[in-house]
Amino acid sequence: MLYSSRVLALLLALCIALITTLGLALFRAATTAMLSASFVISFSVSYLLVFFLLEFLVFREINRIHTLVTKLRKKELSDLGKQRSTPLNPLRAINEEIYSFAELKQKEIDELKKLEAFRREFIADISHELKTPIFAAQGFVHTLLDGAIDDKAVRNKFLKKAARSLDGLDALVEDLLTLSQIETGQVKMRFESVELYKLTEEVLEQFETKASKRGIKLRIKGDRPATAYADPLRISQVLSNLVSNAVNHSHDDSEVVVHIDQGKRYVTVSVIDKGEGIPPEHINRIFERFYRVDKSRSRAKGGTGLGLAIVKHILEGHHTRPEVESTPGKGSVFSFKLPRSKEVMEH
Ligand SMILES: Nc1ncnc2c1ncn2[C@@H]1O[C@H](COP(=O)(O)OP(=O)(O)OP(=O)(O)O)[C@@H](O)[C@H]1O
Ligand SMILES: [Mg+2]
């Protein structure tokens, strides 16, 4: 303990005693007894003085601050699992603690700033998205009130249009709720053994009428049975979103194929369409909330731009993520991988 107050006091007292004794030795009259006595006295007095000064005024206070800062850091942010070796010098230790504490605080501030920017952007997006259907419905209702209500044909047409806008609003709010519930962890995934082939069949059935109107064939290919460890309800939501996108962006009279490939540890599900595809510059952004490649066309089809954000979040809840491969004009493949058992998921 080179930096303990005792050692420092000892060293200083020795120096002081030596200097005093040497100074005294310059006088001829000084005897050995006097010199020894002065050494002992000056040593003891300065040792005691320096020791108490250091111990009570400096070291104890510094150590107290050091312990406090360490405690604060540990309590505030537990990210530093790594134990630092405490340097011998308490001043250096306290310096390091304060530095790392400040660093962590800065990181926290940066994170908060990012979140704040994200929140602002999100609110702007939401307001814009909500405004569109509300504005449309409002327009139809006001036109009716201004007299169009008397014309029966116009009345029905406008009421239908207003109803469609309100349905869109309902879908948007529903999607927003789902997204925020998944994000805040209110929706817990209920994992169990799921047979994906059957699940896919059920999802495709929902889109049969819509697809056949445009001559689009829906097919499943691959392994049967294919069992995965997942939340069946959420995975069917993922599949619905992907198949709905595939159908919406397919050319008439083409086909949408869901491919199920059972590997040793994972099952890979791919939704393949031969539609318009996605330009490469948009690929990285389509999973963002409200992001649409062609805003006006997608909105005209009733899209809220939240489908893929929901897909991404659900898959994150399954510790996996969606992959996309797309060629403009040729089509797209959206795929994701699910573990076959609980053990695989936990790895
Ligand atoms: N299979 C696909 N082919 C071409 N473009 C696609 C495909 N899937 C998604 N996209 C593009 O990605 C965008 C985002 O998709 P997302 O599912 O998030 O929103 P949406 O389909 O517009 O609305 P929602 O799914 O909420 O009804 C779409 O608007 C579209 O531009
Ligand atoms: Mg969609």
Residue 227 CA to residue 229 CA, distance in Å, equals 7
Residue 238 CA to residue 244 CA, distance in Å, equals 10
Give distance in angstroms: CA of 168 to centre of ligand 1: 15
CATH number at residue 135: 1.10.287.130
Closest CA to 182 of 310, 42, 15: 310
Task: Evaluate whether 273 touches 331 at the Cβ level (below 8 Å).
Answer: yes
Residue 173 lies in a domain: yes
Task: Please state the φ and ψ torsions of residue 238, each to the nearest 5 degrees.
Answer: -60, -50
Structure tokens at 70: 């360490």
Verify that 123 and 52 share a domain, yes or no. no
Is the CB of 247 inside a 6 Å radius of any atom of ligand 1? Answer: no
Task: Evaluate whether 236 touches 226 at the Cβ level (below 8 Å).
Answer: no
Verify that 177 and 213 share a domain, yes or no. no
Q: Which residues share a beta bridge with 194?
A: 228
Verify that 233 and 316 share a domain, yes or no. yes
| Alpha-helix runs per DSSP H in the chain | 5-25, 32-52, 60-76, 90-145, 152-183, 196-213, 232-248, 280-283, 295-300, 307-317, 342-346
- In terms of DSSP bridges, do strands 323-327 and 266-273 run parallel, antiparallel, or are they unpaired? unpaired
Burial track 125-148 (b if 16+ CB lie within 10 A, e otherwise):
eeeebeeebeebbeebbebbeeeb
Determine the pLDDT at residue 81. 46
Task: Evaluate whether 247 touches 253 at the Cβ level (below 8 Å).
Answer: no
Q: Which of 183, 203, 220 is the last residue in one of the domains?
A: 183
| Domain span including residue 35 | 5-79
CATH number at residue 289: 3.30.565.10
| Beta carbons within 10 angstroms of residue 13's beta carbon | 20
Number of domains in the chain: 3
Q: Please give the angle made by the CA atoms of 99, 105 and 108, to the nearest 5 degrees.
A: 145
Give distance in angstroms: CA of 305 to centre of ligand 1: 6
Residues with CB under 5 A from ligand 2 (ion): 245, 307
Verify that 201 and 162 share a domain, yes or no. no
Verify that 201 and 296 share a domain, yes or no. yes
Q: Which of 79, 103, 134 is the last residue in one of the domains?
A: 79
Residue 236 CA to residue 154 CA, distance in Å, equals 40
Verify that 176 and 197 share a domain, yes or no. no
- The closest-lying atom of ligand 1 relative to the alpha carbon of residue 294 is 31
Is the CB of 286 inside a 6 Å radius of any atom of ligand 1? Answer: yes
Smallest CA separation from ligand 1 atom 13, residue: 292
Verify that 299 and 174 share a domain, yes or no. no
| Beta carbons within 10 angstroms of residue 200's beta carbon | 24
Residue 87 lies in a domain: no
**Predicted TM-score of the model (pTM):** 0.70
Burial track 314-334 (b if 16+ CB lie within 10 A, e otherwise):
bbebbebebeeebeeeebbbb
Residue 88 lies in a domain: no
Residue 111 lies in a domain: no
pLDDT, one tens digit for every residue, the chain (347 residues): 456 778 889 999 999 999 999 998 998 888 889 899 999 999 999 999 999 888 877 877 787 788 877 777 776 655 444 445 555 566 777 778 888 888 899 999 999 999 999 889 888 888 988 998 999 999 999 999 998 888 888 899 999 999 999 998 998 898 898 888 888 888 888 999 999 999 999 999 999 999 999 999 999 999 889 999 999 999 999 999 999 999 999 999 999 999 999 999 999 999 999 999 999 999 999 999 888 888 766 656 667 889 999 999 999 999 999 999 999 999 999 999 999 987 777 77
Verify that 309 and 258 share a domain, yes or no. yes
Structure tokens at 292: 């649409």
Q: Which of 54, 79, 104 is the last residue in one of the domains?
A: 79
Task: Evaluate whether 191 touches 342 at the Cβ level (below 8 Å).
Answer: yes
Instruction: Point out the ligand nearest to the CA of residue 296.
Output: 1
Residue 91 lies in a domain: no
Task: Evaluate whether 240 touches 202 at the Cβ level (below 8 Å).
Answer: no
Give distance in angstroms: CA of 269 to centre of ligand 2: 17
Verify that 219 and 278 share a domain, yes or no. yes
- 225 preceded by a cis bond (ω within 30 of 0): yes
Determine the pLDDT at residue 69. 79
